[in-house]
Amino acid sequence: MLDFSSVKDKVVIVTGASRGIGEAIARCCAANGMKVVCAARGMEKGEQLAGEIQGNGGSAVFRQTDCGDPGAVKDLIEFAVDHFGGLDGIVNNAGIGLGGFPLHEYDLEDYDKIMDLNLKGVFAGMKYAAEAMFKSGSTGGFIINVASVAGLLPQRGQALYTAAKFAVVGMTRTAALDYAPYGVTVNAICPGYTLTSMFDGIPDEAMNFFLRDCPAERLGKPEECAYIALFLASDMARYISGAAIPVDGALSAGSKNMINWKHPEIRSAARRV
C-alpha cells in the first residue's frame, strides 16, 4: 500500500525549480506536505511558483540562486536551514543542455559552462546538503540528483553533456556508499526525452526524430519524474540507494530493431499509448 505520509514536514531544496522537471518535483513535494525551498535563477517564475504553492495550502519559499556558483549553492542551503530550521533532503535538478555537435566543435568555454552547472553545481549541492542534514540531525535524509539517460547511454553529438551526466551518476553511487551506514539515501533519476520548454518551437523534423527514437513513441511528462522523486524521499524507499533510475520510455534498455509479430491480430484489443 502506498503511503507518503512519511514525507510530511520534511524540508527539501529543489534546484532548477522554476520550470520543467524541477517545477513538477517542487509542486509534487509540496502537495504531499513537504516544506519546499524552490531555487532557480529566474526570479519571476520562481516567486510565482512559491506563491502558487502557498495559495494551494502548501509550504514553499523561493531563493534566487545560480547553481553553477558553489558559493551561491552554499548560501542556498544555509538559507533553507535558517528558514525552516533544518534540512532533510535536496533534489539537484538545475542543469543545461548543449549539444548536437562533434566533439572537436565544442569550445573550451562550452566545457566550463556545462561542467560548472551540470557537475560542479551538483557536487556543491550534495556536499553542503549532506553537511546540513548531519548537523540538523535529520532522520530519513535523501539526496536525489536529476541526471539523464545520457548518463547511462552515450549519445552522439553530446560529448560534454554525456561526460557531465556520467559523472553525476558516478558521484551518486559513490556517495550512496559513503552515507549508507548513516541512513541517508542517494539516488539519481535519469530522464529521457521529456516534454519541457527545451522542446518549445523545435522543428517538426527534430520532434519526429525524438518520437521515432523512443521505444514508447512519445515524450515523457515532467510529473513522471516528480513521482519517482517523491517516492525516493519517502520511507518506502529507505532501502534504495545508489540507483540510477531511467524514466525514458525504454530508451536506455537497448537498441531498437525490426520485429515481426507472429499473431498481430492480438494487438487489435490493445490501445496504443
SS3 270: coil
- Pick the catalytic residue: 106, 111, 128, 161? 161
Instruction: Over range 9-15, report the average pLDDT.
Output: 98
Contact 53, 27 (CB under 8 A): yes
Indicate the pTM of the whole model: 0.94
Residue 271 in this model has a pLDDT that exceeds 70: no
Tens of pLDDT, residue by residue over 85-125, are 999 999 999 999 887 899 999 999 999 999 999 999 999 99
Residue 145 has pLDDT above 80, yes or no: yes
| Distance (Å) of CA 162 to CA 98, 107, 120, 144, 219 | 10, 16, 14, 18, 20
Mean pLDDT of 202-214: 90
Mean pLDDT of 138-142: 94
Q: Is 161 a catalytic residue?
A: yes
Nearest alpha carbon to residue 184 among 142, 144, 146: 142
pLDDT at 258 exceeding the cut of 80: no
pLDDT at 200 over 90: no
pLDDT for position 268:
81
CA distance 235 to 169: 22
5-269 carries CATH number 3.40.50.720: yes
Predicted pLDDT of residue 100: 85
Residue 144 has pLDDT above 70, yes or no: yes
* pLDDT at res. 231: 98
pLDDT digits (tens, 9 = 90+) for 28-75: 999 999 999 999 999 999 999 999 999 999 999 999 999 999 999 999
Q: Which position has the grid cell 526570479? A: 43
Q: How many CB atoms lie within 10 A of CB 3?
A: 9
pLDDT surpasses 90 at 256: no
User: What CA–CA distance (Å, rounded) separates 181 from 176?
Assistant: 9
pLDDT computed for residue 184 by the predictor: 98
Residue 260 has pLDDT above 90, yes or no: no
